Amino acid sequence: MADVIHAWHPDVPLVQEVLHAQFEHHAYPSHTHDSWTVLLVDQGTVTYDLDRHEHQTTNSTVTLLPPQVPHDGRSATPDVPFRKRVLYLEPEWLSLSAVDAAAEAPTLFDPSVTSTVDQIHAALNDPADVLAAECGVLALRELVQPHLKSPVDIASDKPLARRLRHLLDDRLDETFTIAEAAAQSGFHDQSHLTRHFRRTLGTTPGVFAA
């Protein structure tokens, strides 16, 4: 069975690209997008690593991959093809504050989200249905947002970053890892810390320490 790929750039606000594809053996290497990736797998199962954590798609659920977070993708069962539909949405479709929550829990177990994504694809298949597609993308944002409550509240980002800064200042003559510093500052892991640190102070912990 040959791979089948159909990709296009619809004239719909907030939509960068649409991809409908079926792959038999293809596996994606680790990569990033500058967009929000909304993935719906219609056939088969896809296993993927997102920010170094393994996940798997499930039937009738939508996967949301945040911008600039590394991920790959492959069939969960060798030699079994998978068929998928993907929306690539502009980074401003959701607030960047939602990136961490999406990276930690990319699967959306919500039938209304799945139904809305399906309706968007149906509208995108008809060039005359641009308004319906745009309305669907906006409705999808409202449905997705409640699922993306970050475990670290935005109001607490700056105090956490300041705690890390003080830790670095107090221990400049000691040898310790960024991972040990992340844990003591209340973050889940080093990548979680780095994203919040860069967003708050404009640089990475390693550059700041240097």
Beta carbons within 10 angstroms of residue 203's beta carbon: 13
Read off the tokens for 208.
């700041």
pLDDT of residue 136: 95
The SS3 assignment for 201 reads: helix
Residues 6+ apart with CB under 8 A from 146: none
User: Residue 203 gets which letter from DSSP?
Assistant: S
pTM: 0.71
Predicted pLDDT at 152: 47
Q: What is the pLDDT of residues 73-104, one digit of tens each?
A: 998 987 788 999 999 999 999 998 899 999 99
Q: At 127, which amino acid appears? A: P
Distance in angstroms (rounded) separating the CA atoms of residues 202 and 186: 19
Q: Could you report the per-residue pLDDT of 159-196, keeping only the tens digit for each?
A: 666 666 666 666 665 555 666 766 666 665 666 667 76
Pull the structure tokens for residue 21.
């594809």
d(CA 110, CA 147): 9
At residue 3, the pLDDT reads: 86
Q: How far apart are CA 29 and CA 32, in angstroms?
A: 10
Kindly tell me if the per-residue pLDDT of 33 is higher than 70. Answer: yes
